[in-house]
């Protein structure tokens, strides 16, 4: 286990990111080294902090005060009201965290939620979201999104596109890449020696032998056969409606789904508060809570920090797995 800290980027200052990060430190700071990147004025007033200028000052647990790598965001924070003037600071906090994780100064990066509209208005943010921005920072490496909790790890092969576009976006090359990245990450980041991956079909009942859809018969099954011939342990294509009950989950280490809701409905049903968003394929570990900025409750002290706490814990676990 490395004593390098988990770097937490501030995310949208007007959202719940600062307060759930503070709660994560209160829960884990006595055992887990961490630092927060952002403007200390945006953190809860009663939070003990220690301003630092270098990540090395945050090595080892720091139970008395949260180490803060200070960035000046200019205007004050107004909970619930995003300010485009903060956009550049938000992006720089993410980039700083990615650099710290990539160089080993931080063990991993855990990102608080961002507000894309404010980033676009204030800094011409040119990416669909966090994941794509981190991929660009890492040299445009191919990445995939995993949602994970104790009971399930699931990866959608396509993400934020209309359902009508899924069949054309879901190509043999895309599915192969998603499965290969997932397989490698299970070994490197989760310590699974011989991963078993369950792959959903695209159509109801996985096409039912071509009667209600032919993609499974025409190419999905063949793609999986090719990967099996290369040594991967895969099951599928499987009917998605029978993949996620407890007995089925016990037979695989991760599931690959074909589109967004096919993947996210089961994990949000199983563990709505504790799910973690993980980016697979990066040269460093990145996790994030599986929720948004929650402007409606920001600053009221009622935000549920379960997902942020789980994200920090998972970042620590994954970093330790990579370190061997």
Cα–Cα distance between 116 and 99 in angstroms, integer? 21
Residue 318's pLDDT is: 97
C-alpha count within 13 angstroms, C-beta hemisphere, residue 193: 0
Cα–Cα distance between 4 and 17 in angstroms, integer? 22
Residue 1's pLDDT is: 62
Domains, the chain, in order of start with CATH, read 1-141+283-324 (3.40.718.10), 151-270 (3.40.718.10)
Of the candidates 13, 143, 21, the one whose C-alpha atom is nearest the C-alpha of residue 90 is 13
pTM of the predicted protein model: 0.95
Q: How far apart are the first and last CA of the chain?
A: 8
* Token pair in block for residue 172: 């043999």
Block mean pLDDT (10 aa), the chain, length 324: 91 97 96 97 96 94 95 94 96 98 97 96 91 95 96 95 95 98 98 97 96 96 98 98 97 98 96 95 97 96 96 97 88
Residue 274's pLDDT is: 93
Cα–Cα distance between 174 and 135 in angstroms, integer? 16
In degrees, to the nearest 5, what angle opens at C-alpha 311 toward C-alphas 267 and 118?
A: 90
Q: What is the DSSP string of 143-155?
A: -EEEEE-SS-EEE
């Amino acid at each position: 286990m490395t004593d390098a800290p988990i770097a937490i980027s501030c995310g949208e200052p007007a959202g719940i990111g600062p307060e759930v990060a503070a709660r994560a430190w209160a829960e884990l700071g006595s055992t887990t080294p961490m630092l927060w990147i952002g403007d200390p004025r945006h953190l809860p007033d009663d939070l003990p902090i220690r301003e630092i200028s270098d990540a090395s000052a945050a090595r080892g647990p720091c139970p008395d005060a949260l180490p803060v790598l200070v960035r000046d965001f200019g205007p004050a924070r107004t909970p619930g009201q995003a300010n485009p003037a903060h956009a550049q600071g938000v992006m720089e906090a993410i980039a700083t965290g990615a650099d710290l994780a990539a160089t080993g100064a931080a063990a991993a990066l855990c990102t608080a939620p961002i507000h894309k509209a404010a980033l676009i208005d204030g800094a011409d943010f040119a990416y669909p979201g966090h994941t794509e921005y981190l991929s660009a920072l890492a040299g445009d490496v191919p990445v995939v999104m995993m949602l994970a909790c104790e009971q399930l790890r699931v990866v959608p092969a396509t993400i934020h596109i209309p359902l009508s576009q899924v069949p054309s976006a879901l190509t043999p090359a895309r599915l192969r890449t998603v499965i290969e990245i997932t397989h490698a990450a299970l070994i490197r980041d989760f310590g699974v020696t011989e991963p078993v991956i369950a792959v959903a079909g695209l159509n109801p009942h996985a096409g039912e032998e071509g009667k209600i859809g032919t993609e499974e018969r025409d190419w999905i099954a063949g793609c999986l056969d090719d990967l099996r011939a290369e040594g991967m342990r895969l099951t599928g294509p499987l009917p998605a409606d029978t993949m996620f009950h407890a007995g089925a989950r016990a037979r695989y280490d991760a599931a690959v789904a074909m589109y967004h809701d096919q993947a996210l409905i089961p994990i949000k049903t199983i563990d709505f508060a504790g799910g973690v968003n993980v980016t697979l394929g990066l040269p460093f570990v990145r996790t994030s809570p599986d929720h948004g900025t929650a402007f409606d409750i920001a600053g009221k002290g009622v935000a549920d920090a379960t997902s942020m706490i789980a994200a920090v814990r998972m970042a620590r676990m994954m970093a330790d797995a990579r370190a061997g």
